[in-house]
Homo-oligomer: A and B are copies of this chain.
C-alpha cells in the first residue's frame, strides 16, 4: 500500500471516527437525564473533537476490518479509546502537570474553559469511555463488552497510562537519568498501553483466534513503542508551529526519552527495528493482503511529520 492510498484511507476512516465521536458526545439529552451541564459538554467536545490524528481509533477500526468486521462496533470502541486519550491530554496539560498552553494549535482545555471545568471534563470523558464500551450497541456479546471494559481499565489505569505518567513525572524530578530499559518500560505504560489496547480491542471485536490475537498484540506493542520514539524525535527536531504544541519541551524539562538516552541516530535505528517487528507481526497474524493497512500504519507512525 503506497503512501497516498494510505493517506486516503486514514482520512476516510478518520471521518467515520469523527462522526462516531460526534454521536457519542452529542448534545441530545439522553433518557432519564435530568439536567445538562452545558459548559462541561462544551469542554468535552472541545477537547475531543479538536482534530488530532485519531491513530488509536484508526488502529481499532482497521484491525477489526482486517479480520473481517466492519460495522459500528469497532468505531464505537475506537471512539471510547479516543475519549480516554483526550481526557489524558486535558489532565496532562494542567498547570500542576505539564502546564501547557497550546495543544493542536489551540489553547489547551484549561486555558479555554478554566481549570475546574477541565478537570471535570477529563473525569467525565473517562466515564463516558466505559459507558460506550459497556453498551450493547458496541457488541451484542456481553463477554466481549466486559472484556473490553477490563482491557481499557488496565490500559488506562495504574498499570498503564496513568501509572506511566506518574513514573514520567517522577523521572523529571529525579536527578539520576533513567536507563534505556526504564525508559522503554515507562513508555510502554504511558503511551504504549493504550495504543496496544487499541489493536487488542479490534481483535476482540472481530473474534480473532488465539494465533492472530497473539501476533496482533505484538504488532500493537511494536507500533506503540515506535509511535513514542517518533514523537520524541519530532519533539527534538521540530518547532512549535509545525507541531501545534510546544516543541523541544522534553530536553528543557528533563523528560525521559530514548532520544536523550540513545541520541537521535540511535533512536532512529530503534524506530526502524520496531517497524520491521510490527510488519513481521502482521505477517505472523496470517492476514495476507488484508493486513496491508496495518503494515502501512506502522510505517506511517514512524515517518509522520507531526
Q: Which residues of A contact B (CB under 8 A)?
A: 30, 32-37, 39-41, 44, 87, 91, 94, 96-97, 114-117, 119-120, 122-124, 126-131, 133-135, 141-143, 145-147, 149-150, 152-154, 156-159, 162-167, 169-170, 182, 185-186, 188-189
Q: Please determine whether A134 and B122 come into contact, CB atoms closer than 8 angstroms.
A: no
Contacts of A127 in B (CB 8 A): 126, 152-154, 156-158, 162
With contact pairs A146-B142, A159-B32, A163-B37 given, residues A130 and B153 touching in the complex (Cβ less than 8 Å): yes
Q: Please determine whether B97 and A169 come into contact, CB atoms closer than 8 angstroms.
A: no
Q: Please determine whether A166 and B37 come into contact, CB atoms closer than 8 angstroms.
A: yes
User: How far apart are the CA atoms of A143 and B127 in the complex, in Å?
Assistant: 19
Residue of B whose beta carbon sits closest to that of A143: B142
Q: Which of B123, B141, B145 contacts A122 (CB 8 A)?
A: B123
User: How far apart are the CA atoms of A158 and B39 in the complex, in Å?
Assistant: 11
Contacts of A128 in B (CB 8 A): 153, 157-158
Q: Which of B40, B126, B186 contacts A163 (CB 8 A)?
A: B40
The 23 listed contacts between A and B (C-beta, < 8 Å) are: A32-B159, A34-B185, A34-B188, A35-B167, A35-B185, A36-B163, A37-B170, A41-B158, A44-B158, A96-B115, A96-B116, A97-B116, A116-B169, A117-B169, A123-B162, A124-B157, A128-B153, A128-B158, A130-B130, A130-B149, A135-B150, A141-B142, A145-B149
User: How far apart are the CA atoms of A189 and B124 in the complex, in Å?
Assistant: 13
Report the minimum CB–CB distance from A145 to chain B (whole Å): 4
Report the minimum CB–CB distance from A109 to chain B (whole Å): 12
Q: Please determine whether B186 and A35 come into contact, CB atoms closer than 8 angstroms.
A: yes
Name 6 extra pairs, CB < 8 A, besides A124-B163, A131-B150. Answer: A37-B167, A40-B158, A40-B166, A97-B116, A120-B166, A130-B130
Q: Please determine whether B119 and A166 come into contact, CB atoms closer than 8 angstroms.
A: no
Residue of B whose beta carbon sits closest to that of A130: B153
Residue of B whose beta carbon sits closest to that of A114: B96
Q: Which of A114, A134, A167 has the most B CB atoms < 10 Å from its CB?
A: A134
Q: Please determine whether A162 and B97 come into contact, CB atoms closer than 8 angstroms.
A: no
User: How far apart are the CA atoms of A222 and B234 in the complex, in Å?
Assistant: 55
User: How far apart are the CA atoms of A28 and B134 in the complex, in Å?
Assistant: 28
Q: Please determine whether B165 and A120 come into contact, CB atoms closer than 8 angstroms.
A: yes
Q: Please determine whether B39 and A170 come into contact, CB atoms closer than 8 angstroms.
A: yes
User: How far apart are the CA atoms of A163 and B30 in the complex, in Å?
Assistant: 13
Contacts of A34 in B (CB 8 A): 159, 185, 188-189
Contacts of A164 in B (CB 8 A): 37
Q: Which of B94, B96, B131, B149 contacts A133 (CB 8 A)?
A: B149
User: How far apart are the CA atoms of A175 and B203 in the complex, in Å?
Assistant: 52
User: How far apart are the CA atoms of A210 and B8 in the complex, in Å?
Assistant: 51
User: How far apart are the CA atoms of A37 and B161 in the complex, in Å?
Assistant: 11
Q: Please determine whether A146 and B134 come into contact, CB atoms closer than 8 angstroms.
A: yes
